[in-house]
Structure 1
Amino acid sequence: MSVLAGRRLSPLARAVAAVAAAVMFMMVFSAGTASAHGSTIDPPSRNYGCWERWGHDFQNPEMATEDPMCWQAWQHDTNAMWQWNGVYREGVGGDHEGAIPDGQLCSAGRTGGDRYAALDVPGEWHATPVANEFTVTVHDQALHGADYYRVYVTKQGFDPTTDELGWGDLELAGQTGVVPPGEGTPSDDPALGGVSVSIDVEAPGRTGRHIVYMIWQASHFDQTFYGCSDVVFG
């Protein structure tokens, strides 16, 4: 839970907290670049979207009312936002359903302990409008490459505002073969670096809110990345 929650701080204390947070931010993105990984950035994964919208303004109390699902994730563990590129597991060996229980897909089976647990909570997550044919963009910060990317979309009738996500709720909607390390569109965003890979997705018959689920099997190691993105069709 945030150290700022539940109490009013003096101007000096707020300034100290802001400096400490800025130092933490710089440590994550300077010391962490060599070991950086990635996530879905369009439509944004839940934690990448929170970082994109609030990473520069994380002390703004309006997050609680404007983006309540990001707020509850921030209160649960601030690192879910700062370490948006770290939702992965090692040694899965392709058995994704065996490694990740139903209800924990967005946190990759509570990888990192409870750090990403708030990502599994159903609710009014910020949703990106999409058509029934759209493109998913995954960012590979450290040029890992991929044995494959797989993109799933929830079945019609699933309600991400109330339903926990399970494997039986998903249908495969797009995939790639091998993507060599470094292949993709280079990013000129200093907070990203690396390259972006696009995957064409088809999800006929979908209307309303859904979850797009991404699996990225990195090729450099048996390391698999996962991500939940919220979308709205039609």
Structure 2
Amino acid sequence: MDTSEGRRRRSRILRLFVAVASALVLTPVLATPALAHGAVSDPPARAYSCYTRWASDWQAPRMATEDPMCNQAWRADPNAMWNWNGLLRDGVGGNYQTAVPDGQLCSGGRTSSGRYAALDEPGAWKTVDLPSRFTLNLLDGSSHGADFIRVYVTRQGFDATTQRLRWSDLELVTTTGRMPTGTTTPVQVNAPGRTGRHIVYTLWQASHLDQSYYFCSDVNFTGGQTPPRPRPPLPPRPRRRHPPRP
């Protein structure tokens, strides 16, 4: 017999089911970047560097004082950090300096509707210490391959804290040929005659499509030899707080 108590119980179960279903629909999905593309992981590109340091605590007030350049980048567009591996342009056809004009090199010519524009801002970005000879590593989770990887370094006298990067500020120091890429893609670099803060600029032309990637890595040349650093870990999965949807 369908008693009133039974009907009330079924009604409570139905309401609970609806509430859970609604919560699943309304709750944003935790956006960890799919390893569909890549970035320079060592010395770390700006977006990758900010992501690996702050993804698990990206709304922390202390970021403003501890890491002000990453703080302004997170505040300008958090999705630039969550999508650290998407700083690319399609169909450039080799016309890199046209597609990526002066002052916009670190954002790939303000690709993705300007998502990465904050990366062009000069300032005290966190640096890593390097000797003049070092190994650059590209992280490419999908193994797109490379038609080539070009590595540029700013000339001595360029001030990354006050100047936007221009092509004329760069010196090409390494060019690879066609090569496979993966989670570790080492490229040997030699940039003599430099000390202090510089930008290492990497242009990666992928092999799977006409797709080019652009990365600014902030470094401090020590003027001597330093022991090799441990291989950088893969980017962490954020442990708390949901990012905004792309």
TM-score, normalised on structure 2?
A: 0.77
Equivalent-residue separation in structure 1 for 2:175 and 2:38 (angstroms): 17
What residue number does 1:79 align with?
Answer: 79
Q: How many Å separate the matches in 2 of 1:209 and 1:53?
A: 20
Q: Counterparts of 1:174 and 1:200 in 2: how far apart (Å)? A: 8
What's 1:110 paired with?
110
Residue deviations 1:81-127 (CA, integer Å, cap 9, x gap): 10000000011111111111100000000001121000000000000
What does residue 52 of structure 1 align with? 52
1:144 match: 144
1:103 and 1:179 mapped to 2: Cα distance?
30
Give the 3-state SS of the residue equivalent to 1:112 in structure 2: helix
**Distance (Å, rounded) in 1 between the aligned partners of 2:185 and 2:216:** 17
Aligned counterparts of 2:100 and 2:58: Cα–Cα separation in 1: 30
Specify the code of the residue in structure 2 equivalent to 1:220.
H
Q: Which residue of 2 aligns with 1:158?
A: 158
Q: SS at the partner of 1:47?
A: helix
CA distance in 2, matches of 1:149, 1:210: 19
| Larger Rg computed on CA atoms | 2
> 2:12 matched to 1:24?
no
- Quick one: distance in 2 between partners of 1:42 and 1:117? 22
The aligned counterpart of 1:101 is 101
Aligned partner of 2:168 in structure 1 is: 168
Separation in 1, partners of 2:150, 2:53: 26
Gaps of 5+ in 1: 1-18, 184-193
Instruction: Measure, in 2, the Cα distance between the counterparts of 1:114 and 1:176.
Output: 29
Q: Runs of 4+ in structure 1 displaced over 2 angstroms?
A: none
1:200 matched to 2:202? The reply is no
Count, aligned residues? 198
- Residue ranges of structure 2 left out of the alignment (5+ in a row): 1-25, 223-246
2-side partners of 1:20 and 1:96: how far apart?
40
Letter in 1 for 2:190: E
SS at match of 1:92: coil
Cα deviation for residue 20 of structure 1 reads 5.8
Instruction: Report the AA paired with residue 142 of structure 1.
Output: S
**Cα distance in 2, alignment partners of residues 24 and 227 from structure 1:** 25
Name the residue aligned to 1:210: 198
Give the CA RMSD over aligned residues. 1.6
Alignment partners' CA distance in 2, 1:166 and 1:20? 42
Answer yes or no: is 1:41 the counterpart of 2:47.
no
SS in 2 for 1:225: strand
- Distance in 1, Cα, partners of 2:27 & 2:184: 31
Matched ranges for 1:3-22 at <5 A: none
Match of 1:130 in 2: 130
Query: 1:24 deviation in Å?
Result: 2.9
CA distance in 1, matches of 2:205, 2:179: 10
Taking only the aligned residue pairs, the percentage that are identical comes to 57
CA distance in structure 1 between the aligned counterparts of 2:27 and 2:143, rounded to whole angstroms: 30
